[in-house]
Amino acid sequence: MAEMQEKEKEKTFIRETIQEKPKKQRPFWKWALLVALLAVIFGVIAGITFVLSGNWFRDALGTTEETRESVTIPTDTEQTETPTETTTEPETSSVDETKEEAMRETLENMVEKMVKEQMAQEESRTEAQLPGCVTRVGEIASQMKASLVTVTTSQEEEDVFSHTFTRSEDAFGVILAITGEDVRIATEAELLENAEAVRITFQDGTFAAAELVASDATTHLAVVSVRLDQLDEELKKALLPVTLGNSYLCHAGDMVVALGSPLDYVPSVAWGIVSYVKRDIQGTDRNIDVIQTDIAASEGAGGILVNSAGELVGWITSYYNEEDQKNLIAGISISDIKDLAERVANGGALARLGVQIQTVTEGIAEAEGLPQGLYVTRCLDEGPAYEAGIQDGDILTGIGSEALVRTDDLKNALLQMKPGDEVEVRLLRNGRDGYKEQTFTVTLGSR
């Protein structure tokens, strides 16, 4: 026992705790100052890095610097002719000489009125009226200068000797809208297909770089934008967006002015009258009106049609010209594509089904024995509808949750959809047992 107590005494030193020398605490304000200083240094380095590398990343990834401000273009309601007032004759038991005389007199008055109207139309372009028309054309051309620009594209090419050169091409442009950040300009879509650089020249000779916002190949309409910070204050104040008119009010005999490049030269001007308006022409996924004029056109004519009030009523294109009128200017009714122009101006992608259609009205249905809906006159080759199995002669009755009764129904439904969307298309197809309902799943394309 004594030996164990002796051993415990010998090991007592093991229980001792060695304590470190207490460290001197740094004051809190010094820590705070150090953290703040490091934060400032990090912020400066991050900012410089962002500025220097931002452009590189945007080019590499193909992203835009910021979301564009939205543009709104009000649409028009299609106008109908005001019915002419008719007078009713009192009922008689027999046709007497008095009534025959009244009918003859009424007919003579109608013929006389028609002749006078025709003579008035012919006289409208006589030498007596010509100076006034020319003066008005000059006024319109001068008024539109603030809204018209020249769009120049350039790209590098090689000649047969492998020498590199830059090829430039000019086209017209018209200012659709001015936002708080940029100017949106409508121009020809084909011009921008392979362009490597786009430049806008304004009426005062100032030029600035532009970038593509979006385009629509079926109407040949494209929109580019120029940032306002590239322009001086005086030019900004001088620019004016074009006034979009109601082309449903255009009638045969109305004076129109073609501006832009109607003579294949930018800028050029021509004028004439509306020969007639072709109604309900079948385009891709929508029907449109086409304004036909008597204005002689060059092969590469482009631009806009403006009415006597200085309002844009037509988008010049040769796509819808008839074979015997290829040398005359025609324009797509602007009222039929205002919704499309707004979508393009805002950079939105346009969905495409790829059909040409005609409304089966109640009268056509009764006369031809067809069910009502949208008759497919042509399913465009290699289009989304064609790839899904839809055929010429099918009658479309619905797409997605929307019923299809009129051609505008399809146009409006597609405006709510995006390229790449999978939608169900309901239709009626004629077979041995008559029309049977079928459903096809279509992956929408891009216009």
Lowest-pLDDT range of 114-123, 182-191, 259-268, 299-308: 114-123
| For residue 415, pLDDT beyond 80 | yes
Instruction: Give residue 218's pLDDT.
Output: 87
Beta bridge partners of 423: 442
**Domain co-membership, 288 together with 341:** yes
CATH number at residue 411: 2.30.42.10
* Whether the predicted pLDDT of 123 surpasses 70: no
pLDDT at 447 over 80: yes
Is the pLDDT assigned to residue 57 strictly greater than 70? no
pLDDT mean across residues, the chain: 82
Does residue 151 carry a pLDDT above 50?
A: yes
- Looking at the structure, do residues 252 and 341 belong to the same domain, yes or no? yes
Average pLDDT over residues 163-170: 88
Q: Model confidence over 33-48: pLDDT tens digits? A: 666 666 667 665 666 6
381, part of any domain? yes
On whether residue 432 sits in a domain, the answer given is yes
pTM: 0.73
DSSP class of residue 244?
Answer: B
Q: What is the Cα–Cα distance from 187 to 243, expressed in whole angstroms?
A: 16
pLDDT band at 134 (very low <50, low <70, confident <90, very high): confident
- For the residues 172-184, what does the mean pLDDT come to? 97
In this prediction, residues 53-72 reach a mean pLDDT of 60
Mean pLDDT of 157-169: 85
Same domain for 308 and 384? no
In a shared domain, residues 363 and 432: yes
CB-CB contact of 374 with 286 (8 Å): no
- Looking up tokens 């020809």 gives 188
* Top-ranked range on mean pLDDT: pick from 113-117, 123-127, 438-442: 438-442
Backbone phi and psi for residue 418, each to the nearest 5 degrees, phi listed first: -125, 155
Average pLDDT over residues 367-394: 96
Same domain flag for 176 and 215 = yes
What per-residue string of b and e applies to 109-122 under the rule 16 or more CB within 10 Å gives b? eeeeeeeeeeeeee
Could you tell me if 227 and 263 lie in one domain? no
Closest CA to 334 of 310, 311, 315, 318: 315
Residue with the larger pLDDT of the pair 290 and 32: 290
Contact 162, 109 (CB under 8 A): no
Q: Which tokens hold the place of 95?
A: 């046709």
Cα separation of 72 and 265, whole Å?
A: 31
Structure confidence by residue, pLDDT tens digits, 334-372:
999 999 999 999 999 899 999 999 999 999 999 999 999
Structural domain ending residue among the three candidates 345, 375, 398: 345
Q: Which CATH number goes with the domain that contains 286?
A: 2.40.10.10
Number of compact structural domains in the chain: 3
Residue 325 placed within a domain: yes
Cβ atoms of 255 and 226 within 8 Å: the answer is no
Any residues with CB less than 8 A from the CB of 201 and at least 6 apart, and which? 149, 150, 152, 207
Same domain assignment for residues 331 and 253: yes
Same domain, 442 and 397: yes
Domain presence at residue 44: no
> So what's the pLDDT on residue 17?
52
Identify the three-state secondary structure at position 374. strand
400 and 364 inside one domain: yes
Do 153 and 187 belong to one domain? yes
Mean pLDDT, rounded, for 195-222: 94
Has residue 124 got a pLDDT over 60?
no
Picking from 236, 130, 234, 232, the residue whose alpha carbon sits closest to that of residue 180 is: 236
Are 286 and 214 in a shared domain? no
Q: Which of 345, 365, 387 is the last residue of a domain?
A: 345
Mean pLDDT of 153-173: 88
Give domain status of residue 21, yes or no: no
The amino acid occupying position 12 is: T
- Residues with Cβ within 8 Å of 367's Cβ and at least 6 positions away in sequence, in order, are none
Instruction: Show the domain range for 326.
Output: 247-345
Local confidence band at 164 (pLDDT 50, 70, 90 cut-offs): confident
Question: pLDDT grade, residue 98 (50/70/90)?
Answer: low
* Domain identity same for 227 and 303: no
Q: Is the residue at 194 inside a domain?
A: yes
Backbone φ and ψ for 110, nearest 5 degrees, come out as -65, -45
b/e code 191-211 from CB counts within 10 Å (16+ = b): bbeebeebbbbbbeeeebebe
**Residue 135 belongs to a domain:** no
Instruction: Write the burial class of residue 267 (CB in 10 Å: 0-12 exposed, 13-18 middle, 19+ buried).
Output: buried
Condensed to tens digits (0 to 9), the pLDDT of residues 263-294 reads 888 999 999 999 999 999 999 999 999 999 99
Residue 120 has pLDDT above 60, yes or no: no
What pLDDT band is residue 89 in, cutting at 50, 70 and 90? very low
Q: Given pLDDT bands bounded at 50, 70 and 90, which one contains residue 21?
A: low
**Does position 210 have pLDDT exceeding 60, yes or no?**
yes
Which pLDDT band, with edges at 50, 70 and 90, does 90 fall under? very low
Per-residue model confidence (pLDDT) at position 197: 95
Q: How much is the pLDDT for 121?
A: 55
417 belongs to a structural domain:
yes
Domain boundary, last residue among 345, 375, 407: 345
